[in-house]
Chain A
C-alpha cells in the first residue's frame, strides 16, 4: 500500500470528517446549538473591550443620571442601553460581557489547576500504589465527603485571611482560582488513577518497563495519553461547575470585588433592586450565567457519551 502522499491538512480534515466523534456531533442538533451558544459567549467575553457599548470599569464614562434605565423594549428606555442600566448608570449588556470575561477566565484557570493537580496525583497514586496511593486516595475521600462549595469557601476564607489587608482585593482573583481549583482535583485523580491501574498492567507498559524506561517517562509517555479521553469529559463538566462555584462565591460576597464584577457579583448587586421593580439588573446576568452553564454542561454530557464506547 503505497498511497501517494496527500498534503497533511487535507488528510487531517478528512480524518476529522470521517471520525465517529464528528458523526455523533453533526447528528445532534442540541449539541450543535450548545456549541454555538458557548462559542458566542466565549467570543463575546474575549472581545468584550471591542464590542461592548461601554467600559463599565471606566468611572468617567458613567453617569448617575443614566441609572435604572429599563431595557430597550420598555417605557422610559434609552437606546444606548439595550438591556437597561444598573444603579450606577452602567450598561447591563456591557457589564455582562465584561463579567463573563472574569467568570469564564476564573473557570478555565481553576479547571486547569484542578486538572494538573488531579491528573498528576492520580497518575502517581495509580502507578506507585502502596502507601502513597493510600495517602492520596484517603485525602481525596475525606475531601469528597464535604460539598465542593464548602471546601472552596473554606479555602478562600483561609487564604484571604492569610493575606495582608491591602492585597486582598488585588489578589482576590488568584485566590479564588486557587480555592476552586483545589476543591475540584479529586474527580480527576480518581478517574486517572482508575485508568492508570488498568493501563499499567497492559503489556505495552510491561514492555517499556522491560527495557528500563524510567517510571516517570512511562507515566508521561505511555499512560497519560491514554487517560486523556475521560479527563477531557471531566474537564468540560467541571468547567460548568467551576463557573457556578465562582458565581456562588461572588454572590456571597467573598469572590471577586465589586470593582471588577463577575456574573455572580452582578447578580448580587442586582439582587437588591429585584423587589423595587428593576428586575433587569439581576435577571439578565443570571440568564447569561444559566445559558452558559447549560451549554457547557450539554457539551460535556455529549462528550461523555460520544467517548464512551459502551453507551454507543
Chain B
C-alpha cells in the first residue's frame, strides 16, 4: 500500500472478535451455539508521519474498535499494530511499553465522561506528566500545565476549577491539553466533535489543526461525519461491517468514490448545499454484525451486486491511487460517479 518508510503506524490484518453468547446454562437449555461478533475483520492500512488518516463508517462498523486496538486499550484477536517500527503485541514488560505509550494518546468523544468530575483541571492535565515522570518539581508541573492550557486556548487560572464549571467545548479543550501534555507524536481522535455544537466544532477542528502543525502530530481521526472528515483528512478509510471498503486520498474519495458504499455515503449525507432538492434515499440498513451476509458484506444493499459478490469475499486491491475491495470495481462494472445532487 503506502510507502512503508514514511509510515508511523502500520496496521496489519487487524481483527477483533467479541464473544456475545448467552451464559452457558441458557445456551444449554435453549440449544443455541456460541455466538461471536466480528467487530473488526482483517483491516490493514498505514498512517504516514504528519498526516491525518480518517476512518469513516456508520455505527457498528468497527471504526472505534480499530482505534482502541491501535492505542492498546483492547487486545486484537488477530493481526498487529506496528508503531514506528515496533510491534506493540510483542512487548510484554511494562517498562518496554511505557515509552511508546507516551508517544500515542487519545482524544475521546464525550467531553462529559472524559474528565474525572472530582479532579481539578490541573490534576487532569498533569496526569500523564505524573505517570511518565516528566516533571521534577511542583512548580515545573504547574508551569507545564499552565502552558498546555494556554496552548488549547484556556486561561492558566482555569486549572484550579473543576470540570463541571466548563462547557462541552471547553472540556474538549481540556481533554486535548491532557492528551498533548506528554508531548506525543500520534493522537487517536475518536469522534472528538460529534458531541459538540457546530460553532464549537469549528473551534475544536481549527484548534486540532493548529496543534498538529505546531507539534508535528499525526492523527488517526474516527468519525461518522463525512463533511468533517473531508475537512480534516489527508487520507480516508471507509469501513463497513468490520472491513475496509476503500482507502483513498480525501480529494480522490470525495471526487471519485469507487466503492458502491462510499458512493452511498456521499449520496446520503445531508448537505447545506442541497436546499430543497429531492433525492432518492438508499433503501436498506446495516445488517446484523453477528450474522453478516456471506461474500461481500455490502451486497444486499449494493446496486451493482452480482453472483460473485454473494459468494466470494472481495480482497482489497489497488485501482489508481485508491485501494478498493469490490468485485464490481475489479470487473469495471461501475459507471463513473456523479453526485445525484451536485451542490449549487
A193 to B109, CA, bound (A): 25
B155 with A211: CB separation less than 8 A: no
Nearest-CB distance from A196 to chain B (Å)? 14
Query: Does chain A have a CB within 8 A of B144?
Result: no
A281 to B156, CA, bound (A): 66
Query: Does chain A have a CB within 8 A of B115?
Result: yes
A203 CB contact (under 8 Å) in B71, B108, B127: B108
Residues of A contacting B155 in the complex (Cβ-Cβ under 8 angstroms): 1
Query: Does chain A have a CB within 8 A of B116?
Result: yes
B114 CB contact (under 8 Å) in A204, A211, A225: A204
B127 with A206: CB separation less than 8 A: no
Nearest-CB distance from B119 to chain A (Å)? 8
| Given A2-B157, A226-B116: A212 touches B98 (CB 8 Å cut-off) | yes
Query: Does chain A have a CB within 8 A of B131?
Result: yes
Which residues of B126-177 are within 8 A (CB) of A?
127-128, 131-132, 155, 157, 175
Query: Does chain B have a CB within 8 A of A138?
Result: no
Query: Does chain B have a CB within 8 A of A163?
Result: no
| Given A1-B155, A203-B110: A210 touches B71 (CB 8 Å cut-off) | yes
Q: How many residues of B contact A (CB 8 A)?
A: 30
A208 with B157: CB separation less than 8 A: no
Which residues of B38-80 are within 8 A (CB) of A?
71-73
Determine chain A's interface SS by DSSP, over half rule.
Answer: helix
A197-217 vs B: 1/0 string, CB under 8 Å? Answer: 000001110111111110000
A2, A202, A208 — most chain B CB neighbours (10 Å): A202
A211 with B128: CB separation less than 8 A: yes
Query: Does chain A have a CB within 8 A of B118?
Result: yes
A206 with B73: CB separation less than 8 A: yes
Query: Does chain B have a CB within 8 A of A222?
Result: yes
A211 with B110: CB separation less than 8 A: no
A2 to B157, CA, bound (A): 7
Nearest-CB distance from A131 to chain B (Å)? 14
| Given A1-B157, A212-B97, A226-B118: A207 touches B113 (CB 8 Å cut-off) | no
A211 with B116: CB separation less than 8 A: no
Residues of B contacting A203 in the complex (Cβ-Cβ under 8 angstroms): 108-110, 113-114
Residues of B contacting A204 in the complex (Cβ-Cβ under 8 angstroms): 113-116, 124
A211 with B108: CB separation less than 8 A: no
A207 with B108: CB separation less than 8 A: yes
A212 with B106: CB separation less than 8 A: no
Residues of A contacting B101 in the complex (Cβ-Cβ under 8 angstroms): 210-212
Residues of A contacting B108 in the complex (Cβ-Cβ under 8 angstroms): 203, 206-207
Which residues of B91-117 are within 8 A (CB) of A?
94, 97-98, 101-102, 105-106, 108-110, 113-117
A208 to B131, CA, bound (A): 9
A31 to B124, CA, bound (A): 37
A211 with B157: CB separation less than 8 A: no
Nearest-CB distance from B6 to chain A (Å)? 25
Which residues of A160-182 are within 8 A (CB) of B?
none
B117 with A210: CB separation less than 8 A: no
Which residues of A52-89 are within 8 A (CB) of B?
none
Give A contacts to B, CB under 8 Å. Answer: 1-2, 202-204, 206-213, 222, 225-226
Given contacts A203-B114, A204-B113, A226-B118, could you give 6 more A-B pairs where the C-beta distance is less than 8 Å?
A: A203-B110, A206-B73, A210-B106, A211-B101, A211-B102, A211-B131
21 A-B pairs with C-beta separation under 8 A:
A1-B155, A2-B157, A202-B114, A203-B113, A204-B113, A204-B115, A206-B106, A206-B108, A207-B108, A207-B127, A207-B178, A207-B179, A208-B127, A210-B72, A210-B73, A210-B101, A210-B106, A211-B128, A212-B94, A212-B98, A226-B116
The 3 closest A-B pairs by CB, nearest first: A203-B114, A203-B108, A202-B113
